[in-house]
Structure 1
Amino acid sequence: MGQFIFIPLIFFGFIILISSFFIVKQQSAAIIERFGKFQSIRHSGLQMKIPLIDRVSGRLSLKIQQLDVIVETKTLDDVFVRLKVSVQYVVIKEKVYDAFYKLDYPHDQITSYVFDVVRAEVPKMKLDDVFVKKDDIAIAVKSELNDAMLDYGFDIIKTLVTDIDPDAQVKSAMNRINASEREKIAAQYEGDAARILIVEKAKAEAESKRLQGQGIADQRREIARGLEESVEVLNRVGINSQEASALIVVTQHYDTLQSLGEETNSNLILLPNAPQAGSNMLNDMVASFTASNQIGEAMKEARNKKSDTN
């Protein structure tokens, strides 16, 4: 009978012995209470407590934690906007007692301060300034949280404004404005390109005309030189200048007729086409040159008389 009582006692004692040991993980802390009163703080490793008297009332992580808070507020230009503020915080190792006993719900406390700061800062800014000065908002949130949470054993590592989301209609309007600005810039570039093409085309045409005129002038100069040489050759064989000119004109006339005859698909008709056409043309030209010289001489004599009178 005694053996049957002894075995349960051994088993019960073994359970109590095991329950006196507990493990605290790395980067965490355990709070020990004795009869409901704070006893000690235990850190990572194998720890021991008095069975049935001490108990682990709670554990706190000493790692850096992040809380994302979404705040909806209004800007100075009456635009509703949602901001996502990420708060990175950590329990101070030396203030585990304060973090555990002074504050029941740290997430709710941090969220309240974030709401308070954001709704105090953003209404002072226009929507464009919110995007530009988001770092200023984050700094203001961090400063306010540090002052408030330090007494509770929490250190605010960093605060970040990770998202700024205006109302859908406002975003659509902003996108249209941005698209209009880009279309305006594109139109300006296209206009500049078209203007450059027009100017370059005009320059090219002017250069082409200049070269064409120079070519025509060179061609006529060579024709005149060739005619001069032809007259000199004919003069050496006893043909005077008038007869040489007539012969050249007649020769050119028949050369032209020959060229036209070789072109089977040509629609050009040369008029007049009589044998004496070349001679008549030469006579008309000589008469024109003579009349022009006479008129020039008469105008010259008139000017000379007028200058003598003065």
Structure 2
Amino acid sequence: MDFLISYWWLILLALALFGCFVTINQGTIGVITMFGKYQRIMRPGLNFKIPFLEQIYKRVSIQNRSVELEFQAVTIDQANVYFKSMLLYSVINVDEETIKNVAFKFISDKDLMQAMIRTVEGSIRAFVSQKKQAEVLNVRRDIVENVKEQVDITLESWGYHLQDLQINDITFDEAIIQSMSKVVASNNLKAAAENEGQALLITKTKAAEAEGNSIKIAAEAERQAAQLRGQGVALFREEVAKGMSSAAAEMKQANLDTNVILFSMWTEAIKNFAEYGKGNVIFLDGSSEGMEKTMRQIMAMQQMEQPKK
């Protein structure tokens, strides 16, 4: 009998000793209560607790957790906006007060999750309700920053921190999507027409500039050619006059009739008219009086040009 009693005492002692040690896994914190009241926390590893008196109330995870959200919001111009997002959160730190808040603020993780989701959705809905439908797609970053600023204050009182909010998708009703597509298409057509008009204007401007430059170059070339032709005619007249004067002087010294040289030059002129003419009709006075009159005019031109030298 005494042997059996001793045996049972040994079993109870072994169970007590076995119950004195508790293992807390990495990434979790153990919350200990005694008689239903918070007592202390246990860090990861092997821990000691008073058998039968201290109890592990909860194992709090300090690892990152995520949840996906799908909800609807309404803009200021009464357009339905549908969001798909991902929420990343975790315990702020492993301080004792923080772990106490995490362990005792909510009955279960399900209640915590519901409160967190509704808080985030409410913050986004309040922000979107102040924006127009056309502005929502351009304020994605502003939505995230606004939610973090407002929701973090609430989450910190629960012992949690919002690490990241990713808005993965923003969609609208089918009618709104079609109208937005039409607006984008019309804007693209308008931009294409403007670009085409600018290109055509540039092309026309460059062509006009090229034509103007061509006209200027041709006019300058014609002016220079006319100047050269005038200089050539002047030199020709000067040389003709000099030749006639020289020939007349020589014939005078030889006591010859000057009408011979006049007749020679007259026939030479007629020959040049016939050789280089381009179909123009030229009326000439072939009488001796006409030749003499023409030569007098040429000699007079020579005399007019001499004072200019």
Q: Same fold (TM over 0.5)?
A: yes
Q: Provide the C-alpha distance between the structure 2 equivalents of 1:143 and 1:285, rounded to a whole number of angstroms.
A: 113
Q: Provide the C-alpha distance between the structure 1 equivalents of 2:201 and 2:267, rounded to a whole number of angstroms.
A: 59
Change beyond 3 A, Cα 1:134–1:195: closer
Cα offsets for 1:234-266 (capped at 9, x unmatched): 74663466544322212214xx8xxxxxxxxxx
SS at match of 1:282: coil
Q: Provide the C-alpha distance between the structure 1 equivalents of 2:151 and 2:144, rounded to a whole number of angstroms.
A: 11
Q: Provide the C-alpha distance between the structure 1 equivalents of 2:10 and 2:218, rounded to a whole number of angstroms.
A: 124
Q: Provide the C-alpha distance between the structure 2 equivalents of 1:186 and 1:245, rounded to a whole number of angstroms.
A: 70
Change beyond 3 A, Cα 1:141–1:194: closer
Change beyond 3 A, Cα 1:222–1:244: farther
2:218 equivalent in structure 1: 212
Change beyond 3 A, Cα 1:245–1:114: same
8 Å contact from structure 1 (residues 79, 166) kept in 2:
no
2:200 equivalent in structure 1: 194
| 2:190 is the alignment partner of 1:166 | no
Structure 1 gaps of 5+ residues are 257-270, 272-277, 287-310
1:178 equivalent in structure 2: 184
Shift of 1:47: 0.5
For 1:73, give the aligned amino acid: A
Change beyond 3 A, Cα 1:219–1:166: same
2:293 equivalent in structure 1: none
1:247 equivalent in structure 2: 271
| 2:229 is the alignment partner of 1:229 | no
Q: Provide the C-alpha distance between the structure 2 equivalents of 1:11 and 1:247, rounded to a whole number of angstroms.
A: 154
Change beyond 3 A, Cα 1:15–1:70: same
1:126 equivalent in structure 2: 132
8 Å contact from structure 1 (residues 70, 85) kept in 2:
yes
- RMSD (Å), alpha carbons: 4.1
8 Å contact from structure 1 (residues 71, 118) kept in 2:
no
Q: Provide the C-alpha distance between the structure 2 equivalents of 1:80 and 1:74, rounded to a whole number of angstroms.
A: 5
Shift of 1:41: 1.9
Q: Provide the C-alpha distance between the structure 2 equivalents of 1:246 and 1:55, rounded to a whole number of angstroms.
A: 141
Sequence identity percentage? 20
Q: Provide the C-alpha distance between the structure 2 equivalents of 1:113 and 1:11, rounded to a whole number of angstroms.
A: 52
Which sits farther off after the overlay, 123-132 or 99-108? Answer: 123-132
2:45 equivalent in structure 1: 45
Change beyond 3 A, Cα 1:216–1:284: farther
Shift of 1:207: 2.5
SS at match of 1:117: helix
For 2:171, give the aligned amino acid: P
Structure 2 gaps of 5+ residues are 248-260, 287-309
For 1:95, give the aligned amino acid: T
TM-score for both structures, normalised by structure 2: 0.65
2:251 equivalent in structure 1: none
Q: Provide the C-alpha distance between the structure 2 equivalents of 1:126 and 1:205, rounded to a whole number of angstroms.
A: 53
| 2:101 is the alignment partner of 1:98 | yes
Q: Provide the C-alpha distance between the structure 2 equivalents of 1:142 and 1:40, rounded to a whole number of angstroms.
A: 32
Total equivalences in the alignment: 261
1:266 equivalent in structure 2: none
Q: Provide the C-alpha distance between the structure 1 equivalents of 2:221 and 2:156, rounded to a whole number of angstroms.
A: 94
SS at match of 1:77: coil
Which sits farther off after the overlay, 105-114 or 172-181? Answer: 172-181
Q: Which residue of 157, 161, 184 maps to 1:156? A: 161
Q: Provide the C-alpha distance between the structure 2 equivalents of 1:285 and 1:123, rounded to a whole number of angstroms.
A: 107
SS at match of 2:283: helix
